[in-house]
Chain A
Amino acid sequence: MTKREHTKPKVLFVSMLLTLTIALGGCAGDKADGDSTQNATVSTDESSESAQTQAQTEAQPTTDDADSQITIGIPQDLNSLDPNLANGSGTQEILFNIYEGLYKPDSDGNLNPAVASGYTMSEDGLVYTFTLRDGIKFHNGNPVTVADVKYSIEKCAGLNGGEPVISAFSNIASVETPDDKTIVVTLKEASSVFIAICATIEAAIVPADVADLETNPVGTGPYKFVSRSLQENVVLERFDDYWGEPAHIKTVNLKVLADADAIVMNLEGGAVDMVARVTTAQATELGDNFNILEGTMNLVQGMYLNNDVEPFDNELVRQALSYAVNKQEILDFVSDGKGTPVGSSMFPTFGKYYMEELNDVYATDVEKAKELLAEAGYADGFEFTAKVPSNYQQHIDTAQVLAEQYKAIGVTMNIELIEWETWLSDVYGARDFEATVVGVDASTLTAGAMLSRFQSTASNNFTNYNNPDYDAAYKNALSAEAVLDDDLATEYYKECEKILTDTAANVYIQDLCELVAISKKYAGYEFYPLYIQDFSKLYAVE
């Protein structure tokens, strides 16, 4: 008898649990919402009904409220707080707010002076003389000295004994500091991209006397690091001694939302105020409390293939996979038709380097794909597994559509969802994969940022692409001749893109549309032509 009484509540309990999960999710969020409204008043702006709201740019930033704050959802924890160790664009786009190089990009794609206040270049393009910005301070209160700049650049260039952190910086011959305002950098060969590299996060200027940036990140950016709990959150605070226009919002809370499904719940519940990359489906779920801003993600989403693994070492197979894909259908399913199809490792923001004509090289042709497969000896198709990061809904969705499309040519594509950290170590690091669906972005607006990784010797050539023609073309683009003649360099870069397309190095799909969901309590979000989130421009709306 006692046993019977034991099991019945269990039944009830189980069914109640299921219903409660949903209800509780809502409750937790509401509570957080209540907390945040104390600090920021709710927007009364009801005028904007359209998804793309321009109206908010007209609203004026409030005075720098002493305790304004925003909670921003990010898809993964930062893999390092040290700018030299951070890899993965999701980490670098956040570190953009903490660290600065001698130069930094703005939202129009220009490079502006940051730690340096300007530079002059010698006529032969080998000597760059930077002037240190007056009165610039690190987050720990110490002034930035030329010694710090020398230390940072030498560390990145591998001049103080270590491996070069930035391979392009191995071009640096010496760094001199003739007086306490001037830094002279001498290059081995002239380079058209040197300043652009100086504006990347890796080339951040950091204090020479802080040993462990991983636990104690100190930079010169508009936000300083406060605290971090692993896999949970990172807290940033406005740096009041910032040299430039200070940030508006006092505290930025970065909350890790590793579960793509939790994004809508967290936004609707008020647990987070902004998520930079929501899917169109998520955007339509969100109610009136959010503005949805539309831009592009500035990356090349594709199915990246391990060119060393059978059957992807066969060009015919890779071409067949490219022919079998219907990019427009992917766009329709994944983002309601938004996004830009691409055909090589280059996205439209790059302007002169972008080759639109490559998009149609592999116009969907299932018959042709089958023929190519038969020619390659896979008439009956084959089976492979794509490892897909589980925190990016767009990539998961794309992978599902791809799997369905490949059925038509008899190819079975299995999907294995893996954690982002596992992706970084297994796929990107150890190159232990057959295929993966991700986006590859650029750290600078230089063609090399998208193309250098496909050189057979590149350390970040995670697809193991190996093509002597490509290596030669890329080398030509960097030759002394091309450095002085930009049109010639562009020609060579375009040749690289074309080789990637013709050999179907990977299945290039699209530059995803970027939908930013931001609570109507905040405004000021700016899209960058790079993979960057700039929190300093955000402000609370009265």
Chain B
Amino acid sequence: MQIGKKYSKKKHSANLIIGLVITSTMLFLIILGFFYTPYDPTKMDSSAKLAAPSLSHLMGCDNFGRDIFSRVLKGMGNTFIIAFATVVIGVVSGIIIGAVTGYFGGWLDEVVMRINDVVFAFPSILLALVFISLFGTGKYNVVLALGIAFVPSFARIVRGEFIKYREMDYVKSARLAGVPHMRIIFVHILPNTMTVLLSSIMIGFNNAVLAEAGMSYLGIGVQPPDASLGSMLSEAQGYLFSAPNYAVFTGLMIILLVLGFSLLADGLKN
């Protein structure tokens, strides 16, 4: 028992460290991409069409002779911003809906949560696709669409936590002492839900990265010539045999981005 416990503890800190290293590296690259890329990510060069990786082009060039590394930096930035904005929309709305329904309960809870269930029943990508077909393609619509699709899962988690805490003695006594509901919700209970919320935010972020990649892969997210990891992967698919480096590097970046946050979430929980 003792040994097992020690072992698992050690493993967790290893997860945390690896996750931290990967995530901070990726974040560094993303921030770097905002200010500096080795080449203009949309600059075409007919002499470098599908060039192999070399010192001047670390990851090679795409079919327009554009530097893949520069596009990956830019693309990660786009993917990250979309995923981040998606999670912010999902989390903020999710907290408000979940906290209010969970805390007050009653018919409001019933009605809102059934609506929530209906939205939840749709796969989030499908739901987002419906939004896109209504409002058109593009970066901001994808953020909105994915954001709304992500609300139900966060709302559910927060609500569950609030139901757990609302019957606790400290909440009851606060209520008896006449503390306003809003204060109880946001100051007394909400901080306690943070552990659970934090890890679901991490997982949500990962799902958002993959969802954005999926949407852009389908051609409805970031529009060309702007890059995102998903749209790049989609373009790379056509050159899988002649320039595998295009797909491999792009795919690798998605994996690292997701893996880093997953490990981090896993490590943080303990």
Please report A residues at the B interface, Cβ cutoff 8 Å.
3-4, 7-8, 10-11, 14-15, 18, 22, 259-265, 279, 281-282, 284-285, 287, 329, 332-333, 390, 393, 396-397, 399-401, 403-404, 407, 414-418
Contact = CB atoms under 8 A, between A and B. Distances in A.
Contacts of B239: 281, 285
Contacts of A333: 44, 46, 49, 63-65
B203 A418 contact: no
A404 B224 CA distance: 11
B240 interface: yes
Contacts of B199: 3, 7
Contact of B238 (A14, A261, A407, A418): A261
A282 B238 contact: yes
Interface stretch (B85-93, B169-177, B259-267): B259-267
Contact of B137 (A284, A403, A418): A418
Contacts of A7: 199, 203, 262, 265-266
Given A15-B255, A416-B223, 13 more contacts: A7-B266, A22-B247, A260-B238, A261-B235, A261-B237, A264-B237, A264-B240, A284-B242, A285-B238, A285-B242, A332-B46, A333-B64, A401-B44
A417 B225 contact: no
Contacts of A8: 266
Interface in B220-237: 220, 223-225, 234-235, 237
Interface residues of B, number: 41
A333 B64 CA distance: 6
A487 B251 CA distance: 60
27 contacts: A3-B199, A4-B266, A7-B265, A14-B210, A15-B259, A259-B219, A264-B237, A264-B241, A285-B242, A333-B44, A333-B46, A390-B219, A393-B238, A399-B224, A400-B64, A400-B225, A401-B44, A401-B64, A403-B42, A404-B42, A404-B44, A404-B225, A407-B42, A416-B137, A416-B223, A417-B223, A418-B137
B138 A4 contact: no
A403 B225 contact: yes
Nearest to B43: A404
Contacts of B153: none
A111 to B, nearest CB: 39
A3 B269 contact: yes
B206 interface: yes
Nearest to A264: B238
Nearest to A418: B137
Given A14-B210, A404-B225, A415-B225, A285 B241 contact: yes
A287 B210 CA distance: 31
Contacts of A285: 238-242
B46 A414 contact: no
Contacts of A287: 241
* Most-contacted residue by chain A among B199, B238, B255 (CB, 10 A): B238
